Amino acid sequence: MGVGILTTYTQIANISGLHGLLVYTLCGSIPILGFAVFGPIIRKRCPDGFILTEWVRHRFGVVTALYLSFFTCLTMFLFMVGELSAIRGAIETLTGLNALGAVIVECVVTTIYTFFGGFRVSFITDNFQGACVLILIIICACGMGTYIEIDPSKVGPSGLLKANKLGWQLVYILFVAIVTNDCFMSGFWLRTFASKTDKDLWIGCSIAAFVTFVICTLVGTPGFLAVWSGDITVGDENGYNAFFILLAKMPRWLVAFVLIFCIMLSTCTFDSLQSAMVSTISNDVFRNKLHTNWTRGLVVLICVPIVVLAVKVADDILQIYLIADLVSAAIIPAVFLGLSNTYFWYLRGIDVMCGGLGALLGVFIFGTVYYHSAREGGKLLLIWNGIYSPEDWGAFGAFVIAPFGGLVITMAVAGVRILGLYLYSKITGKPFTALEKPTQVIYVDEQERETESLTSSSNINITVDDTFDYNQDVDKKVV
């Protein structure tokens, strides 16, 4: 949880009230349980992996893994821009000073200690982050309860406690957006693969989902508290800054105290993103053959455009996240079809890539038709008009087209490919193998019997071994 939660959740609350806020917090917390559901499956398919792209490499091949790695790095790039933009907004709103120096210092500090400490230091800072979030919530709750005056006459007329059309739209938009986007967060996968047991993973994910829901709901309430105190209006263009607008009315010592905690939160989040990006680039692109320091150096260079965008361009932090969400909604569903060896064993990397890219093209075509303008269709890919207007169904349509269009195009491309191979086999007389199921390997254990499909389409010779070291913990016989 970085400083971004202090802006995005308040913005939704200011636009769609309590309804929109609860939808956002539930859609942000429930998908965390997905790592407990799919994590053990993927770890069994790829016991030596540590991020999602490693399983994709085993299942779909090198090119598809690089394709997913590109969009993974793009997502983390956007999240890093969003995080620095959020802390910049916090500093400038609370102090009136130019935040460029503070942003640069944060990048330098996190780079130094992640350079020497690696991912382990990110685990350590996460503990500080958790403590900082709780202390920040307590301090701000006490401060706002003491210094903020609410006008009861504004509560009812504001309509922020009523259900609304936008809130119902967000049930679908935000759930699809977040559940797919979480799959792009390499930091989450690093923690998933690092969990000691599947039970520990379930416990950790359950606690995380509950705590995320509670904390994000609390930090979003200033979105309508600021309306009731008369500082902003419903749907205000400064709604994303509602938390800091209310905080600025408090004593300066309290403001300084909260600002320090905000910087700590931002630092802890930024170092996780840096570590995850280093892991992704090092493993997926260079296959760990390039010294890690060179990869870290590359991440340092990437920080330069991130700082420039965060300081000079990025203002709407929620829009930054939504761009990443739309990309993930198009890419991820087709990839996860590969987990099924019962129904989708015939899918190949080309099918998945065409499905994801085709879905993005489908969003552009939909936007062009819906808005009667190719320019507006391009803007829809960037969620240019946001998701704020209940009368504008463009964003809702985009998040429908992205996942379902991707799945349809994936299956269509697979069908065309298989038909082409069938015709080729008829013409040349060669055997048609596109629909043959891969050879099965059965792992036999005293407590469980599992069947795993090998993902290679070539003929494989399997020899019987006495023991099979599986997941580094259990000896299993291979039959």
Average pLDDT of span 128-150? 83
Whether the predicted pLDDT of 467 surpasses 60: no
- Count, residues in the chain: 479
| Alpha carbon distance 396, 354 (integer Å) | 23
pLDDT of residue 314: 58
Work out the pLDDT band at 4, boundaries 50, 70, 90: confident
| Alpha carbon distance 87, 6 (integer Å) | 10
Whether the predicted pLDDT of 300 surpasses 90: no
What is the three-class DSSP state of 430?
coil
Nearest to 418 by CA among 470, 320, 362, 350: 350
pLDDT of residue 21: 94
pLDDT of residue 81: 87
pLDDT of residue 93: 80
| Alpha carbon distance 447, 362 (integer Å) | 47
User: Can you give the three-state secondary structure of 79-148, one letter per residue?
Assistant: HHHHHHHHHHHHHHHHHCCCCHHHHHHHHHHHHHHHHHHHHHHHHHHHHHHHHHHHHHHHHHHHHHHHHC
pLDDT of residue 462: 43
Nearest to 70 by CA among 314, 353, 270: 353
| Ordered strands of the 468-470 beta sheet | 449-453, 440-444, 474-478, 468-470
Work out the pLDDT band at 447, boundaries 50, 70, 90: very low
Whether the predicted pLDDT of 97 surpasses 90: no
Asked if 32 and 208 touch (Cβ cutoff 8 Å), the reply is yes
| Alpha carbon distance 262, 37 (integer Å) | 32
Asked if 434 and 421 touch (Cβ cutoff 8 Å), the reply is yes
332 CB-near residues (< 8 Å, 6+ apart): 180, 183, 184, 403
pLDDT of residue 468: 40
Average pLDDT of span 94-108? 85
Angle at which helix 34-45 crosses helix 198-220, to 10 degrees, equals: 150
Backbone angles phi, psi at 441, to 5 degrees: -115, 125
pLDDT of residue 316: 65
226/111: higher pLDDT = 226
471/350: higher pLDDT = 350
Q: Which amino acid is at 90?
A: A
Q: Tens of pLDDT along 156-207?
A: 888 899 988 888 988 998 899 999 989 888 778 888 988 889 999 999 999 9
CA pseudo-torsion sign 47, 53, 59, 62: negative
User: Can you give the three-state secondary structure of 381-412, one letter per residue?
Assistant: HCCCCCCCCCCCCHHHHHHHHHHHHHHHHHHH
What is the three-class DSSP state of 475?
strand
Average pLDDT, the chain: 83
pLDDT of residue 429: 87
pLDDT of residue 478: 42
Which neighbouring-strand residues pair with 470?
474
pLDDT of residue 313: 67
Average pLDDT of span 249-274? 84
90/470: higher pLDDT = 90
Work out the pLDDT band at 308, boundaries 50, 70, 90: confident
pLDDT of residue 200: 95
Asked if 106 and 259 touch (Cβ cutoff 8 Å), the reply is no
H-assigned helices in 148-197 = 155-158, 165-181, 186-194
Q: Tens of pLDDT along 39-89?
A: 999 988 888 877 888 899 989 999 999 999 999 888 888 888 888 888 888
Nearest to 403 by CA among 368, 355, 371, 365: 355
* Domains in the chain, CATH or no CATH each: 3-314 (1.20.1730.10), 340-439 (no CATH)
